[in-house]
Protein backbone atom coordinates (compact mmCIF):
# COMPACT_ATOMS: atom_id res chain seq x y z
CA UNK A 1 0.00 0.00 0.00
CA UNK A 2 2.84 2.39 0.83
CA UNK A 3 4.39 1.76 -2.56
CA UNK A 4 1.09 2.58 -4.26
CA UNK A 5 0.71 5.73 -2.15
CA UNK A 6 4.20 6.94 -3.08
CA UNK A 7 3.53 6.14 -6.72
CA UNK A 8 0.33 8.23 -6.71
CA UNK A 9 2.15 11.11 -4.99
CA UNK A 10 4.91 10.99 -7.59
CA UNK A 11 2.33 11.02 -10.39
CA UNK A 12 0.60 14.09 -8.92
CA UNK A 13 3.93 15.89 -8.56
CA UNK A 14 4.74 15.12 -12.22
CA UNK A 15 1.35 16.31 -13.48
CA UNK A 16 1.68 19.51 -11.46
CA UNK A 17 5.16 20.04 -12.96
CA UNK A 18 3.73 19.70 -16.47
CA UNK A 19 1.03 22.23 -15.61
CA UNK A 20 3.58 24.75 -14.32
CA UNK A 21 5.51 24.34 -17.57
CA UNK A 22 2.34 24.95 -19.59
CA UNK A 23 2.36 21.38 -20.97
CA UNK A 24 -0.68 19.93 -19.31
CA UNK A 25 -3.46 20.41 -16.76
CA UNK A 26 -2.76 20.57 -13.05
CA UNK A 27 -4.57 18.36 -10.51
CA UNK A 28 -8.29 18.71 -10.99
CA UNK A 29 -7.91 21.16 -13.87
CA UNK A 30 -9.59 20.53 -17.26
CA UNK A 31 -7.86 20.85 -20.58
CA UNK A 32 -8.39 24.19 -22.36
CA UNK A 33 -8.61 24.61 -26.09
CA UNK A 34 -6.85 27.99 -25.83
CA UNK A 35 -9.50 29.61 -28.07
CA UNK A 36 -10.35 33.18 -27.07
CA UNK A 37 -14.06 33.87 -26.70
CA UNK A 38 -15.42 37.12 -28.11
CA UNK A 39 -15.82 39.65 -25.30
CA UNK A 40 -16.26 43.41 -25.08
CA UNK A 41 -13.14 45.27 -24.01
CA UNK A 42 -14.59 48.76 -23.83
CA UNK A 43 -18.04 50.32 -24.12
CA UNK A 44 -18.79 51.42 -27.70
CA UNK A 45 -18.51 55.14 -28.42
CA UNK A 46 -20.27 57.26 -31.01
CA UNK A 47 -20.46 60.75 -32.42
CA UNK A 48 -22.78 62.62 -34.80
CA UNK A 49 -21.47 65.29 -37.17
CA UNK A 50 -23.13 68.09 -39.06
CA UNK A 51 -22.35 68.75 -42.71
CA UNK A 52 -18.65 67.96 -43.05
CA UNK A 53 -16.19 65.90 -45.09
CA UNK A 54 -15.23 63.78 -42.07
CA UNK A 55 -16.54 62.59 -38.72
CA UNK A 56 -14.37 61.40 -35.81
CA UNK A 57 -14.97 59.66 -32.51
CA UNK A 58 -12.55 59.89 -29.61
CA UNK A 59 -11.55 56.36 -28.63
CA UNK A 60 -8.30 54.83 -27.38
CA UNK A 61 -7.49 51.36 -28.72
CA UNK A 62 -6.19 49.40 -25.74
CA UNK A 63 -4.40 46.36 -27.12
CA UNK A 64 -3.14 44.34 -30.06
CA UNK A 65 -4.93 41.63 -32.05
CA UNK A 66 -8.36 43.00 -31.10
CA UNK A 67 -11.44 43.39 -33.29
CA UNK A 68 -12.44 47.03 -33.81
CA UNK A 69 -15.73 47.34 -35.74
CA UNK A 70 -16.76 50.76 -37.04
CA UNK A 71 -20.32 51.66 -38.07
CA UNK A 72 -20.79 54.69 -40.35
CA UNK A 73 -23.98 56.50 -41.38
CA UNK A 74 -23.61 59.00 -44.22
CA UNK A 75 -26.59 61.24 -45.07
CA UNK A 76 -26.00 60.77 -48.79
CA UNK A 77 -27.72 57.88 -50.63
CA UNK A 78 -25.50 57.98 -53.72
CA UNK A 79 -21.92 57.81 -52.43
CA UNK A 80 -19.90 55.58 -50.10
CA UNK A 81 -17.52 56.97 -47.49
CA UNK A 82 -14.03 57.21 -48.98
CA UNK A 83 -12.31 55.56 -45.99
CA UNK A 84 -12.13 55.00 -42.26
CA UNK A 85 -8.73 55.93 -40.88
CA UNK A 86 -6.70 56.31 -37.69
CA UNK A 87 -3.05 56.78 -36.80
CA UNK A 88 -2.24 53.13 -36.13
CA UNK A 89 -4.98 50.96 -37.66
CA UNK A 90 -6.21 50.21 -41.19
CA UNK A 91 -9.92 49.49 -41.61
CA UNK A 92 -11.50 47.35 -44.33
CA UNK A 93 -14.95 48.10 -45.71
CA UNK A 94 -17.00 44.97 -44.93
CA UNK A 95 -20.45 46.01 -46.15
CA UNK A 96 -21.92 49.23 -47.58
CA UNK A 97 -25.55 49.80 -48.56
CA UNK A 98 -26.84 52.84 -50.43
CA UNK A 99 -30.56 53.44 -49.93
CA UNK A 100 -32.48 56.22 -51.69
CA UNK A 101 -35.51 55.79 -49.41
CA UNK A 102 -33.33 56.04 -46.32
CA UNK A 103 -31.52 59.09 -47.74
CA UNK A 104 -28.30 57.50 -46.56
CA UNK A 105 -25.41 55.11 -47.05
CA UNK A 106 -24.82 52.74 -44.13
CA UNK A 107 -21.47 50.91 -43.85
CA UNK A 108 -19.60 48.64 -41.46
CA UNK A 109 -15.80 48.61 -41.37
CA UNK A 110 -13.35 46.69 -39.19
CA UNK A 111 -9.82 45.76 -38.36
CA UNK A 112 -9.27 42.20 -37.14
CA UNK A 113 -5.75 42.77 -35.82
CA UNK A 114 -5.66 46.07 -33.97
CA UNK A 115 -2.65 48.08 -32.88
CA UNK A 116 -2.97 49.88 -29.54
CA UNK A 117 -2.57 53.61 -29.09
CA UNK A 118 -5.18 55.22 -31.33
CA UNK A 119 -6.90 58.22 -29.77
CA UNK A 120 -9.48 58.82 -32.48
CA UNK A 121 -10.99 57.09 -35.51
CA UNK A 122 -12.28 59.07 -38.49
CA UNK A 123 -14.75 58.38 -41.30
CA UNK A 124 -13.93 60.37 -44.45
CA UNK A 125 -16.46 61.35 -47.13
CA UNK A 126 -16.37 62.60 -50.72
CA UNK A 127 -18.57 65.63 -49.93
CA UNK A 128 -20.12 67.50 -47.03
CA UNK A 129 -23.18 65.79 -45.55
CA UNK A 130 -24.32 64.94 -42.05
CA UNK A 131 -22.99 61.66 -40.64
CA UNK A 132 -22.46 59.51 -37.55
CA UNK A 133 -19.77 57.05 -36.47
CA UNK A 134 -19.72 54.27 -33.84
CA UNK A 135 -16.67 52.31 -32.65
CA UNK A 136 -16.25 49.25 -30.41
CA UNK A 137 -13.35 47.04 -29.30
CA UNK A 138 -13.50 43.28 -28.69
CA UNK A 139 -11.22 40.39 -27.83
CA UNK A 140 -11.62 37.67 -30.46
CA UNK A 141 -9.87 34.50 -31.65
CA UNK A 142 -8.66 35.45 -35.13
CA UNK A 143 -6.51 38.18 -36.68
CA UNK A 144 -7.74 37.73 -40.27
CA UNK A 145 -11.10 37.23 -41.95
CA UNK A 146 -13.20 38.32 -38.97
CA UNK A 147 -16.16 39.64 -41.02
CA UNK A 148 -18.74 36.92 -41.60
CA UNK A 149 -22.35 37.78 -42.58
CA UNK A 150 -24.54 40.85 -43.14
CA UNK A 151 -28.03 42.01 -44.04
CA UNK A 152 -29.83 45.34 -44.52
CA UNK A 153 -33.57 45.94 -44.77
CA UNK A 154 -35.67 48.82 -46.09
CA UNK A 155 -38.79 49.52 -44.07
CA UNK A 156 -41.04 52.51 -43.77
CA UNK A 157 -43.36 53.30 -40.88
CA UNK A 158 -43.05 49.82 -39.38
CA UNK A 159 -42.61 48.84 -35.73
CA UNK A 160 -41.59 46.37 -34.45
CA UNK A 161 -38.89 46.14 -37.11
CA UNK A 162 -36.46 43.52 -38.35
CA UNK A 163 -33.44 43.61 -40.63
CA UNK A 164 -34.34 40.23 -42.07
CA UNK A 165 -32.06 37.25 -41.59
CA UNK A 166 -28.41 37.36 -42.52
CA UNK A 167 -26.64 34.25 -43.76
CA UNK A 168 -25.94 31.55 -41.17
CA UNK A 169 -22.92 32.38 -39.05
CA UNK A 170 -19.91 30.14 -39.60
CA UNK A 171 -18.93 30.05 -35.92
CA UNK A 172 -20.98 29.63 -32.75
CA UNK A 173 -19.33 32.52 -30.89
CA UNK A 174 -19.76 35.75 -32.88
CA UNK A 175 -20.40 39.45 -32.36
CA UNK A 176 -23.65 40.73 -33.86
CA UNK A 177 -23.07 44.40 -34.75
CA UNK A 178 -26.50 45.86 -35.55
CA UNK A 179 -28.06 49.21 -36.34
CA UNK A 180 -31.20 51.18 -37.08
CA UNK A 181 -31.62 54.47 -38.93
CA UNK A 182 -34.50 56.98 -38.98
CA UNK A 183 -33.82 59.57 -41.70
CA UNK A 184 -36.71 61.91 -40.93
CA UNK A 185 -36.53 62.89 -37.26
CA UNK A 186 -34.24 63.08 -34.24
CA UNK A 187 -37.10 62.49 -31.76
CA UNK A 188 -37.50 58.73 -32.16
CA UNK A 189 -36.23 56.22 -29.56
CA UNK A 190 -35.03 52.73 -30.47
CA UNK A 191 -35.30 49.66 -28.23
CA UNK A 192 -33.63 46.34 -29.07
CA UNK A 193 -35.57 43.08 -28.75
CA UNK A 194 -34.74 39.38 -29.08
CA UNK A 195 -31.46 39.62 -27.17
CA UNK A 196 -30.35 42.91 -28.75
CA UNK A 197 -29.19 45.79 -26.55
CA UNK A 198 -29.30 49.38 -27.75
CA UNK A 199 -25.85 50.78 -26.94
CA UNK A 200 -25.97 54.29 -28.37
CA UNK A 201 -28.11 56.72 -30.33
CA UNK A 202 -26.72 59.74 -32.15
CA UNK A 203 -28.73 62.38 -33.97
CA UNK A 204 -28.43 65.69 -35.78
CA UNK A 205 -31.12 68.33 -35.20
CA UNK A 206 -30.22 70.19 -38.38
CA UNK A 207 -30.50 67.21 -40.75
CA UNK A 208 -33.33 65.49 -38.83
CA UNK A 209 -31.92 61.99 -38.59
CA UNK A 210 -31.46 59.48 -35.80
CA UNK A 211 -29.07 56.51 -35.81
CA UNK A 212 -28.52 53.73 -33.31
CA UNK A 213 -26.04 50.94 -32.54
CA UNK A 214 -27.27 47.60 -31.16
CA UNK A 215 -25.11 44.62 -30.17
CA UNK A 216 -25.19 41.10 -28.81
CA UNK A 217 -22.70 38.24 -28.55
CA UNK A 218 -24.05 34.81 -29.49
CA UNK A 219 -22.82 31.32 -28.65
CA UNK A 220 -24.55 29.24 -31.33
CA UNK A 221 -24.65 29.40 -35.12
CA UNK A 222 -27.76 30.83 -36.75
CA UNK A 223 -29.25 33.17 -39.33
CA UNK A 224 -29.65 36.25 -37.12
CA UNK A 225 -31.77 39.39 -37.57
CA UNK A 226 -31.49 42.80 -35.91
CA UNK A 227 -34.85 43.42 -34.22
CA UNK A 228 -36.40 46.18 -32.15
CA UNK A 229 -39.10 48.78 -31.77
CA UNK A 230 -39.29 52.54 -32.32
CA UNK A 231 -41.32 55.06 -30.38
CA UNK A 232 -41.84 58.74 -31.06
CA UNK A 233 -40.93 60.66 -34.18
CA UNK A 234 -41.97 59.45 -37.60
CA UNK A 235 -41.12 55.77 -37.09
CA UNK A 236 -39.09 55.27 -40.26
CA UNK A 237 -36.75 52.29 -39.80
CA UNK A 238 -33.84 50.95 -41.85
CA UNK A 239 -32.21 48.22 -39.72
CA UNK A 240 -29.27 45.96 -40.55
CA UNK A 241 -26.39 44.01 -39.05
CA UNK A 242 -22.93 42.61 -39.66
CA UNK A 243 -21.51 39.60 -37.82
CA UNK A 244 -17.89 39.19 -36.72
CA UNK A 245 -16.02 36.08 -35.58
Task: Give the model's pLDDT for residue 19.
Answer: 35
- Region of residue 233 (phi > 0: left; psi between -120 and 50: alpha; otherwise: beta): left
Contact 134/46 with Cβ under 8 angstroms? yes
Q: DSSP letter at 228? A: E
Residue 139, classed as helix, strand or coil, is strand
Nearest residue to 95 via CA among 83, 84, 86, 106: 106
For the chain, what are the domain ranges? 39-244
Task: Give the model's pLDDT for residue 3.
Answer: 53
Q: Residues with Cβ < 8 Å from 2, sequence gap 6 or more? A: none
Task: Give the model's pLDDT for residue 206.
Answer: 75
Task: Give the model's pLDDT for residue 6.
Answer: 47
- Region of residue 184 (phi > 0: left; psi between -120 and 50: alpha; otherwise: beta): alpha
Task: Give the model's pLDDT for residue 100.
Answer: 85
Q: Distance from CA of residue 8 to its chain's centroid?
A: 50
DSSP string for residues in 39-82: EEEEEEEEEEEEEEEEEEEE----SSS-BEEEEEEES-TT---S
**pTM of the model as a whole:** 0.85
Mean pLDDT, each 10-residue run in order, the chain (245 residues): 49 41 35 71 95 94 94 94 96 93 93 94 96 97 96 88 97 97 86 97 84 98 96 84 98
Task: Give the model's pLDDT for residue 119.
Answer: 92
Task: Give the model's pLDDT for residue 200.
Answer: 97
Backbone torsions φ then ψ of 130, nearest 5 degrees: -65, 155
Amino acid sequence: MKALFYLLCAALVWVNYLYQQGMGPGPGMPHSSGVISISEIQTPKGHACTSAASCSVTVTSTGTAHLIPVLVFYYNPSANPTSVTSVHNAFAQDVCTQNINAHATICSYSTCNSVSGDTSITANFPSNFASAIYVGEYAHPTTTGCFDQSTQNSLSGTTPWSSGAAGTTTQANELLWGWNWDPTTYNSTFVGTGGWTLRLQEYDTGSYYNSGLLTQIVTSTGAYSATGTTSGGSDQNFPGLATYK
